[in-house]
Amino acid sequence: MSVPTAPTERRTPSTSPFESDRGPWWARPGRRLRERRVAAAQLRELLPYAGRGVVTATLAVHVLAGAAPVAFMVGTGVALQELDGEGVTPWLVLAVGAFLLQQLLAPVQLILSRAVARRVDAACIERLTDFALRRATLAGLERPDVADRLSQADEAFEQWTLTPGAAVEGGLALWARYTQLVGAVTLLAVAVGWQAALAGAVVALVARLGQTTAFHRWGQLVRRFQPLRRRVAYVRDLATSTRAAKEIRTLGLVDWLDARYVAESRAVLDPLWEWRRRVYGVPFLAYTAVALVGSVVALLLVARSDVASVAAVSIAVQAILLCGRFGVVFPEADVKLVYGRSAWEALLEFEAITRREDARTTSPAGTSAPVVARDAVRLDRVHFAYPGGPPVLDGLDLELRAGTSTALVGVNGAGKTTLVKVLTGIYDPDRGAVRVDGTDLRTLDADAWQRSFAVTFQDYLRYELPLRENVAMGAIEHRDDTDGIRAELARVGLGDLLDELPAGLETPLTRALPGGRDLSGGQWQRLALARALFAVRHGASVLVLDEPTSQLDARGEAEFYDAFLDLTRGVTSLVISHRFSTVRRADRIVVLDGGRISEAGSHDELVALGGTYSRMFEVQARRFGAVDETEVGR
C-alpha cells in the first residue's frame, strides 16, 4: 500500500527555529551569554534539592579527579627526564599513583553523581505531581502546549536519564574537565611560556564554545519538534498497547497504522536532519579549523622554544593534546545538561501556564476538614466557555438545597458534565459565582471543598490496582475499612463478584498482573458507584453521579432505580442521566438547555408542563412500549 504523506501544516517552517539567531549577528554572542547565565541560574535553583553535603562532596571528588591527569602529565614527563635505569623514581610513583587515583575515583564520582541526580529528581517529581494535582487549573492542563511540556517531562522521568537531576549531575561533572584544562594551560605556561599557554587555551575554548553552542542549538531544535514527536509517540503506543488491539486487528488497520507511523516519523525526521546539517555543517568546519590552527601554532611554539629538557617537552605536548581534545561532547555532562535542563524548563513553563491566577487557597491534602453546605449551594448567573469556543454555561442559575436530591437532564453537549466541574471547583466560572451558603467558592479552601464531594464522572477511571484500592479511592485514608468496602460492594450488587475473585479484595483488576482479573463495563460502573458511596460513608456530604447507569443492563438499571432514594438519603445529591427511569424519583428535576436551566420541578410537574422534559420523556418511553397518555401529559 502507498505510504501517506504527513500534512504540510505539521512540518517545521524553513525559518530559523533558534531565538538566538534572530537580529544582527553582532548581537548573538551577547544573547548566548545571557542564555548561559539563565542556564547557570536554573542549575543553582536545583542544587538545594540535592543537599549541601552531597554537593560539596561531589565537587571535591570531581576536582580531585580532574587534578589527577595533570599530576600524571607532570609525573610521566619528569620520569622520562630522569630515566637512568637505576630503579623507580619518585616521579614515576607520582604518575602511577595519579593514574590509580583516577581509576579509584571513577566509581566514587558515579555514586555521588547519581545520589545528586536522584535527590533532585525525587524533589522535581514531587513538585510536578503536587502542582499538577493541586495548583494547576484543569483548563490549563487541557491545553495542547501544556501537553507538549508534560510529555517532555514525563518522557525524561520515565527514562531516568535526561532529567533535571541529570542536568545538575552534568553541571557538577564539568568541574573535573575544567580542572584538567586549567592545569594543562598552567603547565604549558610553566614549561614553555605564556604564548604556548595562550594558544592552548584558545584551542580549547574555541573548540568547546563551538561544540557546546551547536549542541545547545540542537537541543532547542529537538524541543521545538515536541508536538510532532508526541504524535509519533501516540501512534506507536496505539500500535503496541492492548487497549486498541481488538479494533486494529478486527478492522484490518495494521497496514494503515504502519504507514501512518512511517508518515508521522518522516514528518519529524526529514526537517530535523535538514536542520542538523545546518547546525553541524559550516559552523563545525569553522571552529574545527580554528582549533587545528591553534594546535599547530602551540606545537610550533614548543618546537621553537629554548626549552631543551625532555620533561618540559613531554609535559607541553600532553597539555596541548588535552587542550585539543576539549572540543568534543562530554558524555558525562553535555548531553545531560542540554536535555535534562530542557526537561526542567518544560516543568517551569508548565507551572507558569497552568498556575491559578485567582485568590483561592489550598492546604496540604487531608489537613483540612471538608466544607459542608448547611443551607444550599447556588450557581449564580454562571458563565463558562472553553478557550475559543461558544458559551457552554450562559447565565446559569441553579440551587442545590442541602440534603435533597436534584436530577439534571439535557441533550448531549448541553454542558451537564461541565456544570459538575464548575460546581466542584475544577473549572472557575468566567463570570458569575458558585456560592456555598452565600460564600463565594473562590474564597474557600479548594481542597476542603472538593473533599466534601463523592463524584462518579461519566468517564470514571479504571485503576489497575487491587479491588480494595479501587473502592477506597473514594476515601483512601480509610482503605483499611474492610467491612465498609464489602458493604458498599454488596450495596451496588458486586457481592457475588467479591466471592469469585481469587484473592478477594487484594485481587488486581487487570490481566496485566499475575492473578489479576478484568471486569465488564457494567461491573466497572458498579465499582465506580461503590467508590462514591464509600466516600459518603466516610464524610462526603455532596454526591454527584454522572450517567450512573449508562453501562448497566435493564436489571441493573432497575436495581439502581429501586435503590435511588436509599443511595441519596441524607446527602446533597446531583444525578445526571439521559435515562428518565433513573431521575424521576429525585426531589427536583432541572432541564439544562442553551446553557441555562429552562425547566425545574418534580417528574409529574414537568410532564404536565408539556415542555422539553415532557417531549424527551415521551420519546424515550416509546422505546420501551406504549406510554400511558395521562402520564406523558397528552
Give the 3-state DSSP-derived string for 501-550, with helices as H, strands as E and coil as C: CCCHHHCECCCCCCCCCCCCHHHHHHHHHHHHHHHHHCCCCEEEEECCCC
Residue 579 within a domain: yes
* pLDDT at position 308: 59
Strands 588-593 and 453-456: unpaired
Q: What is the DSSP-derived secondary structure letter of residue 363?
A: -
Which residue stretches of the chain have pLDDT < 50? 1-15, 17, 20, 23-27, 358-359, 361, 365-366, 626-634
CB 305 within 8 A of CB 193: yes
* pLDDT at position 10: 43
* pLDDT at position 362: 53
* pLDDT at position 196: 84
* Nearest Cα residue to 317 out of 80, 62, 97: 80
Grid cell for residue 67? 587534578
- Cα 287 from Cα 383, distance rounded (Å): 60
* Nearest Cα residue to 529 out of 504, 510, 505, 548: 548
Strands 439-440 and 453-456: unpaired
Q: In the chain, how many domains are there?
A: 3
Same domain, residue pair 531 and 625: no
Domain assignment of residue 624, given as a range: 373-452+543-634
Q: What is the CATH number of the domain that holds 162?
A: 1.20.1560.10
* pLDDT at position 634: 40
Same domain, residue pair 558 and 521: no
CB 469 within 8 A of CB 475: no
Domain finish residue from 327, 354, 381 = 354
* pLDDT at position 6: 39
Grid cell for residue 226? 515536541
Grid cell for residue 181? 584544562
Same domain, residue pair 208 and 240: yes
pLDDT tens-place string over residues 8-31? 344 444 445 455 455 444 445 566
Same domain, residue pair 96 and 215: yes
* pLDDT at position 172: 92
* pLDDT at position 300: 82
E strand intervals along 339-412: 376-385, 391-401, 405-409
Domain finish residue from 521, 540, 559 = 540
* pLDDT at position 217: 77
Domain finish residue from 495, 511, 540 = 540
* pLDDT at position 67: 93
Buried b (16+ CB within 10 A) or exposed e, 504-541: ebebbbeeeeeebbebeebbbbbbbbbbbbbbbbeebb
User: What secondary structure does DSSP assign to 329-340, as a single string?
Assistant: --TTTHHIIIII
Same domain, residue pair 535 and 552: no
Same domain, residue pair 530 and 549: no
* pLDDT at position 86: 57
Residue 337 within a domain: yes
